[in-house]
């Protein structure tokens, strides 16, 4: 997602807009138990910890990919 969309989403969920590089922006929401929820254009992922996020080890995710059908 772009920076503006990430900032708006972060404001809604009380998270942080984060640039992961290459113009790709994510939104991270840290929970009180230490887990994280991360929003991107393609998915919403839940990570057990920040370390799990850094290791790309999601414990749950929802794909937001939409496939056009003809």
Cα(29)–Cα(31) distance, rounded to whole angstroms?
Answer: 6
Does residue 68 belong to any structural domain of this protein? no
User: Averaged over 55-66, what is the pLDDT?
Assistant: 91
39: containing domain: 3-63
43 within a domain of the structure (yes/no): yes
Please give the model's pTM, rounded to 2 decimal places: 0.85
Is 70 a domain residue? Answer: no
Summarize pLDDT for 10-47 with one digit per residue, the tens: 999 999 998 988 888 999 999 999 999 999 989 999 99
Confidence at residue 70, expressed as pLDDT on a 0 to 100 scale: 56
Number of domains observed in the structure of the chain: 1
Q: Let me know if residue 28 belongs to a domain.
A: yes
The answer to whether position 69 is within a domain reads no
């Amino acid at each position: 997602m772009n920076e503006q969309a990430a900032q708006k989403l972060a404001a809604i969920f009380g998270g942080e807009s984060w640039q992961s590089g290459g113009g790709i922006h994510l939104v991270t929401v840290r929970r009180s138990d230490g887990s994280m929820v991360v929003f991107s254009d393609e998915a919403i992922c839940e990570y057990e910890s920040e370390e799990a996020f850094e290791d790309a080890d999601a414990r749950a995710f929802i794909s937001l990919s939409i496939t056009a059908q003809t």
